[in-house]
């Protein structure tokens, strides 16, 4: 057989055809595992360190977005060579198939992108249109005159994708968070905790908690080996507590470098950062390690040990991130026979160990002097099981003062001043960053403005925001 018999020229169409199928596959992947993801979030993640990403999600991306498109692309390029289709009888296809399929693929790719893309975020990302929202509403924590009547211990648990939705017995037939019910009766819960702009992913939610600001992509570029610093000079939650004498430890079961969280927490003056590598060294007895690190029961066991060590160094601040309940993540955990859905089972597993941890905290001698905040980082992404139409993020505050009103609408940026006031801190105008304390009488910006107005202003460029957020690089 001659090389010319292989019709290698048909592969000239490969790049265009592959681009079309790859684009469709990527959007299907995003819609399945990361519903409502936007341009800002995509750019943030791909431009920050990727070490520590869930290997299962990475494997699925390679399988569905790279290998599968290749398997489809090659046969499409060679369709005219398939005899039973008899496409060669059509003169235009016989002579110009490569050109036709390339042009058609490029046009379809553009059309598909036009159909799928959030044009508002793209428009504001590439345009120079600016807003003065921050100049009007930003509250600098350095000027907020924060003071504490009594320095209580603080424990904040950021639970991956935890929603109040999971308690909906009418929709699901059972309460997936049943073990938290008695503990909730002793605490404070606010009604409508929603995703905010550029805070609806784990890193963005964490940064909003510490700064009262969204984590919006802002000309940030991650070059090889460079450490990115977010809000480097900002007077954040960590710096406020460190200035007030707190001993601070952060715990997560995965690699902390993912998304630049290790550098962010170090910049927040944490004394110790415990992540997957640390747990592997200090807790060799733990073998429950999935594709994204140690399971939540292991993490909360480490949290208990950390608190017992920290009780001699009061006041302390413990920040914990969990991961088991991430969309489409199936860690190796025990199965509950009365819960058939695998993801419901994982949610139940996490809340069971969370309830055990909270009850353990309640048994500690200094529990009365410890404020505990349990919050979901964002609404669950993806569509791996049905969800009700109205959905809100979980929140629970224990050992706090009584709020003026629990019927509040708020987002992740409001957690910064809310945690400070839950801890007993006094803030001059109850606002930090663009967040408002839900323990106060002040309305949050989500309560003051429409969702369209906030999106329009937060998506636009702003000089003050970029001055605060724009990362410094080493």
The predicted structure's pLDDT at residue 228: 66
The pLDDT value given to residue 225: 43
In this predicted model, what pLDDT tens digit does every residue of 82-130 receive, in sequence order? 777 777 778 777 778 888 999 999 999 988 887 776 666 666 666 678 8
For residue 55, pLDDT over 90 is answered with no
- Alpha carbons 29 and 31: distance in angstroms, whole number: 6
Q: What is the pLDDT of residues 340-398, one digit of tens each?
A: 899 999 999 999 999 999 999 999 999 999 999 999 999 998 888 899 999 999 999 99
Question: What distances in angstroms separate CA 421 from CA 56, 100, 147, 151, one per listed residue?
Answer: 40, 64, 10, 12
pLDDT score, position 467? 84
pLDDT of residue 443: 97
pTM for the full model? 0.82
What's CA 197's distance to the chain center, in Å? 12
Three-state helix/strand/coil letters over the chain: CCHHHHCHHHHHHHHHHHHHHHHHHHHHHHHHHCCCCCHHHHHHHHCCCCCCCCHHHHHHHHHHHHHHHHHHHHHHHCHHHCHHHCHHHCHHHHHHHHHHHHHHHHHHHHHHHHHHCCHHHHHHHHCCCECCHHHHHCECHHHCCCEECCCCEEEEEEECCCEHHHHCHHHHCCCCCHHHHHHHCCCECCCEECCCCCCCCHHHHHHHHHHCCCCCCCCCCCCCCCCEECCCCCCCHHHHHHHCCCEEEEEECCCCCHHHHHHHHHHCCCCEEECHHHHHHHCCCCCCEECCEECHHHHHHHHHHHHHHHHHHCCEEEEEECCCCCCCCCCCCCCCCCCCCHHHHHHHHHHHHHHHHHHHHHCCCCHHHEEEEEEECCCCCCCCCCCCCCCCECEEEECCCCCCCCCCEECHHHHHHHHHHHCCEECCCCEEECEECCCCCCCCHHHHCCHHHHHHHHHCECHHHHHHHCCEEC
| Residue 15: both structure tokens together | 């790049």
pLDDT at 153 over 50: yes
Would you place residue 52 in the very low, low, confident or very high pLDDT band (cuts 50, 70, 90)?
Answer: low
pLDDT at 118: 64
pLDDT in tens, 431-470: 999 999 999 999 999 999 999 999 889 988 888 988 887 6
Check whether 36 has a pLDDT greater than 70: no
Read off the pLDDT band of 473 (50, 70, 90).
very low
Structure tokens at 189: 């819960």
Q: Out of 111-125, 137-151, 251-265, pick the least confident.
A: 111-125
Q: Name the average pLDDT for the chain.
A: 87
Cβ contacts of 114-117, under 8 Å, gap ≥ 24: 116/27, 117/39
Q: Output the pLDDT for position 41.
A: 64
Does the structure show a pLDDT above 90 at 260?
no
pLDDT-above-90 percentage for the chain: 57
CA distance 81 to 212: 60
Architecture of domain 136-473: 3-Layer(aba) Sandwich (3.40)
Is the pLDDT at 144 greater than 50, yes or no?
A: yes
Average pLDDT over every residue of 63-73: 91
Report domain extents, the chain: 3-117, 136-473
Residue 39 has pLDDT above 50, yes or no: yes
| pLDDT higher at 19 or 83 | 19
């Amino acid at each position: 057989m001659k090389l010319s018999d292989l019709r290698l020229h048909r592969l000239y169409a490969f790049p265009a055809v592959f681009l079309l199928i790859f684009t469709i596959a990527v959007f299907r992947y995003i819609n399945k595992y990361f519903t409502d993801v936007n341009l800002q979030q995509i750019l943030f993640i791909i431009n920050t360190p990727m070490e520590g990403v869930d290997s299962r999600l990475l494997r699925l991306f390679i399988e569905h977005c790279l290998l599968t498109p290749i398997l489809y692309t090659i046969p499409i390029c060679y369709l005219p060579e398939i005899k039973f289709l008899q496409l060669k009888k059509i003169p235009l296809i016989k002579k110009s198939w490569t050109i036709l399929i390339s042009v058609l693929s490029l046009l379809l790719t553009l059309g598909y992108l036009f159909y799928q893309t959030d044009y508002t975020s793209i428009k504001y990302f590439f345009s120079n249109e600016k807003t003065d929202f921050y100049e009007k509403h930003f509250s600098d924590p350095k000027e907020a005159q924060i003071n504490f009547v009594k320095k209580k211990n603080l424990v904040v648990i950021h639970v991956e994708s935890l929603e109040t939705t999971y308690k909906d017995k009418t929709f699901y037939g059972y309460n997936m968070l049943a073990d938290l019910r008695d503990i909730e009766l002793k605490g404070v819960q606010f009604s409508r905790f929603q995703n905010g702009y550029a805070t609806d992913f784990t890193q963005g939610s964490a940064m909003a908690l510490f700064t009262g600001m969204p984590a919006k992509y802002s000309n940030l570029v991650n070059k090889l080996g460079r450490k990115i610093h977010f809000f480097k000079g900002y007077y954040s939650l960590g710096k406020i507590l460190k200035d007030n004498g707190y001993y601070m430890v952060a715990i997560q079961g995965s690699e902390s470098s993912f998304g630049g969280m290790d550098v962010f927490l170090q910049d927040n003056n944490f004394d110790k950062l415990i992540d997957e590598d640390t747990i592997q060294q200090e807790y060799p007895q733990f073998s429950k390690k999935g594709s994204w690190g140690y399971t939540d029961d292991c993490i909360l066991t480490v949290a208990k040990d950390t608190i017992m060590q920290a009780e001699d160094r009061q006041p302390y601040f413990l920040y914990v991130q969990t991961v088991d309940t991430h969309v489409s993540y199936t860690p190796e955990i025990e199965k509950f026979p009365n819960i058939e859905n695998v993801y419901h089972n994982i949610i139940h597993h996490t809340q069971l160990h969370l309830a055990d941890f909270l009850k353990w905290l309640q048994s500690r001698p200094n529990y009365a002097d410890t404020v505990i905040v349990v919050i979901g980082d964002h609404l669950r992404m993806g569509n791996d099981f049905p969800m009700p139409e109205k959905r809100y993020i979980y929140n629970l505050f224990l050992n706090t003062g009584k709020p003026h009103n629990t019927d509040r609408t708020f987002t992740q940026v409001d957690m910064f001043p809310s945690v400070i006031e839950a801890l007993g801190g006094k803030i001059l105008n109850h606002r930090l960053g663009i967040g408002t304390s839900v323990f106060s009488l002040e309305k949050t910006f989500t309560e003051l403005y429409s969702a369209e107005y906030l999106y329009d202003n937060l998506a636009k460029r702003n000089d003050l925001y970029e001055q605060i957020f724009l990362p410094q690089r080493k």
